[in-house]
Structure formats: structure tokens, C-alpha cells
């Protein structure tokens, strides 16, 4: 039986808090990994393919494991071919490389490129890539998990991607809720030969079961967390996210300057773009010369929240694939740590963090 609480997650106001005026295009999921996997599944399901050829997907070589591991699994099964575009030393993909990678035979069914890298914080040229994909009649998905609430993520800023992954806990909602935006009509494109996936709008594109989310994603919705995600987005509206971004950028830069002052410029290597417009305002990935990041994290973990790569993978067991892809010098790559600041971080916090980290770094020299 239907009851009022169950309608809460289907209430358009909750969806419109996530992305305004496109309530029917939001599918609530349990995490970003599910959203990314669902986007790939929908793209493959809606593409007719080319006779005698495997379906082809274009991505980067620094994607979140939620995308990379899904693609590797499909490759291992022999179901798809994947082109992984290399990043430069600043962890950026060139939009023109995306254009060159899309195959002229029509076998390319999806381009999936992260909006902001989860380890480095570099912001990819999403708007340009979206335009290239639109002109090529290829679906474009971007994982915006790291970016929402930190940089402009409205449709005009992103170039109107076909699918966007959004993760609640990255901008103030509880862990355990996410969403996938699917642009209305993008999965049906006669000129590209795409038809609605046969699972979509019946029993879900990825999970089999009931008819939740209007048949687009089976499984009981997490109503309280969905409401929480809508509320978290509303708290960032009206220019509030810009104020937070300015605050975090100031503290991030202060943290970096403190580390350089205490350790010396020759011993501190910033991983990522120098251009503030191409970098998340809250994220600092920094390589410390001749330091073992795993040992450093063990020594500071009671006082400073840090990781050797992304926050999802904080153990520090070797150099991350992202740093290898960027060709970060080994002397700095092995000593790379990732630090983030937030809306509640204070100047005293970053000063203390820099002092603690510097003290432990010097013990390794």
C-alpha cells in the first residue's frame, strides 16, 4: 500500500533541490558507485552497436574506481572496448583528444570523464567535452561527486551532459545516498540509432526488482537520506556555495604556504593545475620530498585527517595510479598526501595541521 512517507522521495520538490527544474530526470541511488555503474549500463543498453564490432567507450586514465573497475570488468568479459585518454602532468585531459578518440564507425556509445579528479582536485573541461559528444551523437556522462558545492555545476557551466553522478555526503548529506541525472530523451536518439534500454522504465537498468523510481531503479528508497540530500543542496543555493568556496580556497592556499615556509620550496611539490579555475578550491595534493606517506599518515592520524590518495583510499600502500599517470617524480610521488579543508575549517586549524605535518616530515629526513 502507498502511504504519505513513501511519497516524500517521489515529491518533485526533493528532486528539484538536487538539480532545479528537472525533477523527473533524477534517479536516486545508494552511492556514487551505483550511479556510475548505472550510467554505463544505460549507455550500453540504449546503443544498438555496429555489426561485427564491440561497443566502444572513451574515458580517462585517472577515473574513480567506480568507473574504471566497471569498465575493466566489462572488458574482461569481452563486451566492450575502452580508450583511456592520458592526462598531462597537471592531471588534465585535452578536449581535442576526446574528439580524436570517438570512432567514426559509430561504435562509440559513451564518453565518461570525471568532472573533478578525486585525488588531485583538477577540474576537467566538461563543457567542451559535452559539446564534442553532442556534435558526435555520443552520450556523455560525468562523475560530479567531488565538484558539487565547490565549483559551478549548473547545466550551462557543464555544457548540458547527458548523465551526471551526484553524491550526497560530498556536500553535507549523510553517507549512503546519491543520484544519477539522466537528461530527458538522451537515451532515445534516432540519428544515433539509440533506443530506450529495454530494462529502463520497467525493472531498472542495473538492479532487478520492484518498480521504485518509476521503474528506473529497483530497491527501497532511503527516504530520510533523500530528504537530507535535498536539504543539503538547498543550503548551498543563493550564492552560499561561492562563499564557502572562497573560504576554503583561502585556507587551502594558507596551508600550502605554511608547508613551503616550514619545509622549503624545493621539498614541496604541488600536484595539479596552477590555474585556480582548473582546481577545486578545497583540495591540496602535495608531494613531500624523500618522505614515506604511509609512515607519515600513521604518525599524524590522531591529529590531522589526511590520505595518501583520495579519501576513499587512505591506507597509503604505494604510489597511486593517478600520480603515475601524471608522471610525478618518484621522490615526490612516494611522499604525496591529500589534504582537504571545509566550511568549518579555521585558520588555526590549518596552521596547526601544517606544524604537525612538518614536524613529522623532518623526523624522516
Length of the chain: 365
φ/ψ of 192, rounded to 5, equals -95, 0
Whole-number Å distance between alpha carbons of 238 and 236: 7
The residue annotated as part of the active site, out of 9, 126, 133, 312, is 312
Count of beta carbons in the 10 Å neighbourhood of residue 299: 16
Q: Do 28 and 182 touch, CB atoms closer than 8 A?
A: no
Q: Residue 163's closest CA among 240, 57, 241? A: 57
Q: What is the crossing angle of helices 347-364 and 240-263, to 10°?
A: 30
Whole-number Å distance between alpha carbons of 329 and 269: 9
The reply to whether 126 belongs to the active site is no
Hey, what long-range contacts does 155-164 have (CB within 8 A, 24 or more apart)? 155/19, 157/127, 158/115, 158/126, 158/127, 158/130, 159/126, 159/127, 159/128, 159/129, 159/130, 159/131, 159/134, 160/130, 160/134, 161/126, 161/130, 162/133, 162/186, 163/39, 163/42, 163/43, 163/139, 164/19
- List, by residue number, the catalytic residues: 312
Amino acid at each position: 500500500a502507498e502511504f504519505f512517507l513513501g511519497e516524500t522521495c517521489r515529491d518533485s520538490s526533493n528532486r528539484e533541490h538536487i538539480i532545479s527544474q528537472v525533477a523527473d530526470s533524477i534517479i536516486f541511488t545508494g552511492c556514487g558507485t551505483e550511479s556510475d555503474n548505472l550510467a554505463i549500463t544505460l549507455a550500453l543498453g540504449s546503443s544498438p552497436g555496429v555489426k561485427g564490432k564491440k561497443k566502444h567507450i572513451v574515458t580517462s586514465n585517472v577515473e574513480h574506481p567506480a568507473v574504471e573497475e566497471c569498465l575493466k570488468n566489462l572488458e574482461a568479459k569481452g563486451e566492450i572496448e575502452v580508450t583511456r585518454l592520458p592526462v598531462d602532468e597537471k592531471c588534465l585531459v585535452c578536449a581535442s583528444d576526446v574528439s580524436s578518440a570517438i570512432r567514426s564507425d559509430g561504435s562509440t556509445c559513451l564518453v565518461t570523464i570525471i568532472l573533478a579528479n578525486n585525488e588531485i582536485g583538477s577540474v576537467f573541461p566538461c563543457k567542451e567535452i559535452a559539446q564534442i559528444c553532442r556534435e558526435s551523437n555520443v552520450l556523455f556522462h560525468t562523475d560530479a561527486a567531488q565538484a558539487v558545492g565547490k565549483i559551478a555545476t549548473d547545466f550551462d557551466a557543464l555544457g548540458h551532459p547527458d548523465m551526471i553522478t551526484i553524491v550526497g555526503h560530498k556536500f553535507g548529506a549523510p553517507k549512503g545516498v546519491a543520484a544519477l541525472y539522466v537528461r530527458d530523451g538522451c537515451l532515445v536518439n534516432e540519428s544515433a540509432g539509440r533506443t530506450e534500454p529495454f530494462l529502463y522504465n520497467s525493472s531498472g537498468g542495473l538492479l532487478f526488482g520492484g518498480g521504485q523510481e518509476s521503474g528506473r531503479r529497483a530497491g527501497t528508497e532511503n527516504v530520510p537520506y533523500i530528504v537530507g540530500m535535498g536539504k543539503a543542496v538547498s543550503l548551498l543555493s543563493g550564492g552560499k556555495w561561492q562563499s564557502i568556496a572562497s573560504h576554503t580556497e583561502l585556507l587551502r592556499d594558507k596551508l600550502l604556504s605554511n608547508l613551503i615556509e616550514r619545509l622549503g620550496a624545493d621539498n614541496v611539490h604541488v600536484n595539479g593545475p596552477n590555474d585556480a579555475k582548473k582546481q577545486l578550491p578545497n583540495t591540496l595534493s602535495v608531494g613531500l620530498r624523500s618522505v614515506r606517506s604511509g609512515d607519515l599518515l600513521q604518525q599524524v592520524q590522531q591529529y590531522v585527517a589526511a590520505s595518501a590518495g583520495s579519501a576513499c583510499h587512505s591506507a597509503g600502500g604505494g604510489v597511486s595510479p593517478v600520480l603515475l599517470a601524471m608522471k610525478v617524480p618518484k621522490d615526490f610521488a612516494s611522499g604525496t598526501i591529500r589534504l582537504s579543508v571545509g566550511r568549518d575549517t579555521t585558520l588555526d586549524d590549518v596552521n596547526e595541521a601544517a606544524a604537525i605535518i612538518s614536524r613529522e616530515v623532518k623526523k624522516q629526513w
